[in-house]
Amino acid sequence: MRVPLVAANWKMHGSRSFVASFFEEFSAGFSGTGVEVAVFPPAVYLDQAVQESARGNFANIVAIGAQNVSHKAGGAFTGEVAAQMIADIGCSLVLVGHSERRNLYGESNQLVAAKFMAALESDLIPVLCVGESLDERENGETVSVVGEQLKSVIDAAGLEKVAAAVIAYEPVWAIGTGVTATPEQAQEVHGAIRELLGEPGQKTRILYGGSVKAANADALFSQPDIDGGLVGGASLNAEEFSAICKKAHSS
Ligand code: 13P
C-alpha cells in the first residue's frame, strides 16, 4: 500500500507573516489521517516553516522540503545551498528537476541526476520532477521524454534508489496555466513511469502536478497510479490546500 503524499510548492511566494498564518490556518482545517503532507517554501523560510510545522495539533505530520539544492557538498559556490545544510535545519525532502529549473535555469538531466545524488548523500528524500512540453506531447514524445529524464537519474543512482524516492509527473503545459491533464492523460503517463521502474516501482509514490485544485483533485487522485499531488498556485491558500489533502486516499 502506498500512503498518498500531497505537497505544496510555494515557488517564489511568501513572507514571514504568510508562513505563520499558513500553518495556523492549515492546522485548523486539516484532520490528517491516511495522507502525508509536505510543504516546499522558499529557502529563506525553510527554518521558520520547520519550526511552525512542529507546533500545534499537526506536529510532525507535515514534512518540510527545499525547492532546490546544490549538486556540490560544500565549498566556494556563491549563492548555493548544500543538501547537508537543508538536512541540518530539519528538512527531509528536496525537489529536483522541477521544469522551471530545467527550462529557466538550464538544468540538464545530468545536473538533475547530480542533485538527486547530493540529496541522497544527506539522507534527504528527493522528489524528482519530470514532464514534457506541449510540443513534445503533440509530437507523441511524452513517454520517451519522461523516460529519458528518469533514465539519466537511474543511470546515476540505480533503479532501487529512484524507486525509493518520490516522482512528480508535471506536464509543463499544465503548470500554472489552469489547464490540467485529464485524469486519463495523467494516469497513462503515471502507468508508464511505474512500468519503467519495474517491480521496485510498486512502492514508489508518483505525484501529479499541474493546476491541481480541490475541484479536480478527487478525479486525479482516484486514478490507480496517482499517489497524490504536487500543488503550486492552489497551495498558497491554506484552506484550499487542506481541501486538496483531504481528497487523497490510500491505494
Ligand atoms: P500549479 O499548481 O500552479 O500549476 O504548479 C504546479 C507545479 O509546478 C508544482 O510544482
Query: What pLDDT, in 10s, does the model give residues 38-56?
Result: 999 999 999 999 999 988 6
Residues 97 and 127 sit within 8 Å (Cβ to Cβ) = no
What is the residue with the minimal CA distance to atom 2 of ligand 1? 232
Ligand 1 centroid distance, CA of 41 (Å): 13
Asked if residue 34 has pLDDT above 90, the reply is no
211 lines ligand 1 (CB under 6 A): yes
Q: pLDDT digit string (tens) for 209-248?
A: 999 999 999 999 999 999 999 999 999 999 999 999 999 9
Residue located via cell numbers 511566494? 13
Give 249's pLDDT tier (boundaries 50, 70, 90).
low
How many CB atoms neighbour CB 106 within 10 A? 8
244 lines ligand 1 (CB under 6 A): no
Cα of first residue to Cα of last residue in the chain, in angstroms, is 6
Burial degree of 212 (CB within 10 A; 0-12, 13-18, 19+): buried
- Contacts of 189-195 with C-beta under 8 Å, sequence gap 24+, read 189/142, 189/143, 189/146, 190/223, 190/225, 190/226, 191/224, 191/225, 192/143, 192/146, 192/147, 193/130, 193/146, 193/150, 193/167, 193/169, 193/225, 194/225
Could you confirm whether 52 is annotated as catalytic? no
H or E stretch covering 96: strand 93-96
Find the catalytic residue in 52, 170, 190, 240: 170
Q: pLDDT digit string (tens) for 69-122?
A: 999 999 999 999 999 999 999 999 999 999 999 999 999 999 999 999 999 999
Ligand 1 centroid distance, CA of 231 (Å): 5
Q: pLDDT digit string (tens) for 162-202?
A: 999 999 999 999 999 988 999 999 999 999 999 999 999 99
212 lines ligand 1 (CB under 6 A): yes
In the chain, what is the greatest distance between 2 CA atoms, to the nearest angstrom? 49
What is the rounded radius of gyration, in angstroms, for the C-alpha atoms of the chain?
A: 17
Ligand 1 centroid distance, CA of 99 (Å): 10
pTM: 0.96
Nearest to 7 by CA among 132, 91, 102, 119: 91
Burial 64-75 (b: 16+ CB within 10 A, else e): bbbbbbbbeeee
Q: Residue ranges of the alpha helices (H) in the chain?
A: 16-29, 46-53, 83-88, 99-104, 109-121, 134-138, 142-157, 159-164, 183-197, 214-221, 238-246
Could you confirm whether 170 is annotated as catalytic? yes
Nearest to 234 by CA among 53, 52, 35, 8: 8
